[in-house]
Chain A
Amino acid sequence: MTFQVVINLIIAIMWMFLSESYSGASFIAGYILGILLLLVLNRFIPDAFYLRRVYKIIYLMFLFIKELISSNFDIVKLVYKPKLEFEPGIFAMPTELKSNWEITLLANLISLTPGTLSVAISSDNTHIYIHAMHIDDIEDEIYSIKNTFEKAISEVTR
């Protein structure tokens, strides 16, 4: 990925020198030209096209913001209910992510989703212990976390 970014920057600077206008606009024009060249010559360059990964990162950020807003509305609904009707509890969620960085990101995302708060991570990094507002639907919760966050994170890092 870094190799492709460096090539793209070199193409942009070369474009600036070739067109003999050293401004931000010509740099951006050269950068777009570089993206097009990389797209065309994608077969001869190692690794997949790097903007796909950038797109995945942006997708993850939007997912994060969406979940943050929905969790806020959830907790506000719970706060203003006249009766406190929930059954909290702590459950374990197995995770397939390996590196520290991925697990940190997953725990952060879990903390900001509706009704869940990551409490601890087991010493062998295989389970995340999550405190949930509604302990009844553990299976659904685990399934949805695995399907959205774990998938998005593993697509960014691998």
Chain B
Amino acid sequence: MIEIWIKVIFNLIIAFFLLSGTFFILSSSIGIVRFPDVYTRLHAATKASTLGIAGILIGAFLFLYVSDSIVSGKLLLAIVFTLLTAPVSGHMISRAAHRNGVKPVTKNRTDEYEEAIQKHTQH
């Protein structure tokens, strides 16, 4: 009796991780469609998706551990590497976009990076 309950509870935890992961990935892709320019879209792409991927991988890790009692180190390593690489790729894409002259959508035109570049080229 108790074993069945433990199994049910583990399955609920796994389902929670998988569903929350897919929810975050879905909302990040909706954000990519909805937001106005490259930089705000990168906010959605780099942030919401990292937790989504982490949730799905933790769910898969728990599932493998409960059903086959395998401790899969590769899944945990994958989480670490997505956490390391997502902000770097966001940084590089936004920098490349800015260097190619993509203007950020702003109300008061606050862009101190542009000002700094212009000051640098004037000298």
Contact = CB atoms under 8 A, between A and B. Distances in A.
B18 interface: no
Given A75-B43, A129-B113, A111 B90 contact: yes
Given A84-B35, A88-B104, A117-B39, A68 B83 contact: yes
Interface in B7-38: 24, 27-28, 30-31, 34-37
A81 B75 CA distance: 33
Contacts of A79: 27-28, 30-31, 34, 44, 48
Contact of A72 (B39, B48, B111): B48
Contacts of A57: none
Contacts of A74: 47
A89 B43 contact: no
Contacts of B88: 108, 111
Given A87-B107, A92-B113, A133 B43 contact: yes
Nearest to A111: B87
A76 B26 CA distance: 10
Nearest to A81: B34
A90 interface: yes
A80 B50 CA distance: 18
Interface size classification for chain A: 35 or more
Interface in B67-103: 83-84, 86-88, 90-91, 94-95, 98
A129 to B, nearest CB: 4
B28 A90 contact: no
B39 A107 contact: no
Nearest to B95: A120
A89 B34 contact: no
A89 B95 contact: no
Given A72-B51, A89-B107, A119-B98, 11 more contacts: A69-B51, A72-B47, A76-B24, A76-B27, A88-B40, A89-B110, A112-B86, A117-B43, A118-B91, A123-B120, A133-B43
In the A-B complex, the 3 residue pairs with the smallest Cβ-Cβ separation, listed nearest first, are A111-B87, A89-B110, A129-B113
Interface of B: 24, 27-28, 30-31, 34-37, 39-40, 42-44, 46-48, 50-51, 83-84, 86-88, 90-91, 94-95, 98, 104-114, 116, 120
